[in-house]
Amino acid sequence: MIQTLAKKLLPLVNTKKNTDALSDYMEYRIEEHYRIMEQAQDTQVLHHSQGAIRELRRLKTLRDEVVMMAESK
């Protein structure tokens, strides 16, 4: 992530109300993808859900990444 983008995202991730809501949404989506994986008959659907879960988990660390990049020179 580049520093200019991190600075733009800083107001989003520094508000507890926003981060709590985003975290709740990400947890909901992760659970949905687990349900999809449990019922998947096609490996392509399984792989898609695995990738979505991986990206949602990465987004959970967005605040840490943004703060670190915004404060670096």
Q: Are 40 and 46 in contact (CB under 8 A)?
A: yes
For residue 58, what pLDDT is reported?
Answer: 94
For residue 73, what pLDDT is reported?
Answer: 62
For residue 71, what pLDDT is reported?
Answer: 86
For residue 54, what pLDDT is reported?
Answer: 97
Q: Which domain holds residue 34?
A: 3-71
Q: How many independent structural domains does the chain possess?
A: 1
pLDDT digits (tens, 9 = 90+) for 25-34: 999 999 999 9
Identity of the residue numbered 45: V
Percent of the chain with pLDDT over 90: 81
For the chain, counts of helices (H) and of strands (E): 4, 0
Taking 50 as the pLDDT cut, the residues of the chain under it are none
- The label of the residue with tokens 């008959």 reads 41
